[in-house]
Structure 1
Amino acid sequence: MSTQNQLDYERIAKAIEYIRSNFKLQPSLDEVAENIHLSPSHFQKMFSDWAGTSPKKFLQFISLEHAKSLLKEASLFDAAFETGLSSTSRLHDLFVKIEGMSPAEYKNGGKSLNINYSFSESPFGKVIAASTEKGVCYMAFENEKQKALGDLQARFPNASFTERQDEFQKNALSIFNKDWNQLNTIKLHLKGTDFQLKVWESLLAIPMGKLSTYGNLAGKIGYPNASRAVGTAIGSNPVAFLIPCHRVIQSSGKIGGYMWGSDRKQMIIGWESSQVYSDF
């Protein structure tokens, strides 16, 4: 993402924040454009280039009613859960394979691990991706490089780190491109308890453009009374976007929290919906 594209992203984020704050007033295109200091025509084009749909249509995608309608489509979620697919076949049959780290790797803070990491741009801001010799172990949205690296090192305090982008990272980052048919199987090498790994695997079954709830997810993995524990496991997800914790919302249809910011979560949900539904 160029400096200009990063500026566009920041303006779009500000526009969506404004829309969220003033949703009940149904702000017009002119009002939103004025708030981010752009002409209506420039804002319309910039937004459509980013989201693949108009600001008005995007507003529908991030509305409470749209979220509620997605939660009703349980059959699609069930089908995806059974097949292990992370999205609808209309877009791509992406399969993400998770391999848990060994007990020793888990307990000793990655002492035996050599971790490569790199910084990239995405439609949702700057992102850090990191990988071991077995797959991607970490991915997070963060604008500040030093903080991003510090957060990574805190997860693996005894590992060795090298700034280098390898094939695992390249393959994972290609998820942000729109030509999803070119994706190969993405491999993850994650540090987590058995319960966390089970929750993260269940997140992969939520189709792109669809949503689920904490309670629904708890039932799917066989712990119907563990919604809070499931929520905690979701909140500790170490791989942004690829493991789609952003697709889990409250049963009321409210978006809820997100490790990388609720505004970004809203943007991702709307963006994914626009990829699936904008041409319907």
Structure 2
Amino acid sequence: MIECAGLRVERGGVTVLGGVDLVVRQGEWVAVVGPNGAGKTTLLHALAGLVPSTGTVTVAGNDPGRAARRAMSRAVALMPQRPVVPEGVSVAELVALGRTPHVPRFGTETGRDREVVEAVIERLDLSGLARRPATELSGGELQRVVLARALAQQPRVLLLDEPTSALDIGHQQQVLDLVQGMRTADGITVVAAMHDLTLAGQYGRRIVMLDGGRVVADGTPREVLRADRINEVYGARVEVLDRPGGPVVLPVGPDDAAAGEA
């Protein structure tokens, strides 16, 4: 579904991604983690064809750098970390924009398009906000609306950039459970840049860790989320607890660290 070989991205003469090799199978959920500036967002943008890159990249049978935007949008949906919201657009209208790739040129939306939009709005608990201007929403509300727009595209590949960063714990679980359910039911391939390592380990079936624009670890959550590796890559003191649902990463305070060394 996704294949990258020697993927490189440079900006202003600075290498942001340096030779990423990655294969993601259909229906996989791959969580991309790494410290700030590691290249997580740039990787998603390269997969979506939004930034120039070199190397070989194929996403859902398309070359992101050469495929028509309409063809890419039918197959790939990106939920950006910082969405641009047009003035005066309601929540329902913003979600409906996700159907644009499926509407014929000079055509109008069909009953099927409206059904998809209504179903996504209901599943993301947005019915009470449907008529509100999107620019008046809180950060967490807008995050759910932007995810709804991406899901309304009915993509084969869903790219999520920090999908829960502005959400409370309840809506974090709701949103990720919804994505997980759609992945299981529809075979959607999910690649999600995730800041929270515990959530990455609980929902991602595989974790790719970036540092300095390169892949430094790729494997199951238990293989990648080790305390020594997190300390090395993030410079953080953590304890990793093994739980049935996946590793739980806990920060360790200075007093706890000192006690452990005594």
Normalised TM-score (structure 2): 0.26
Normalised TM-score (structure 1): 0.25
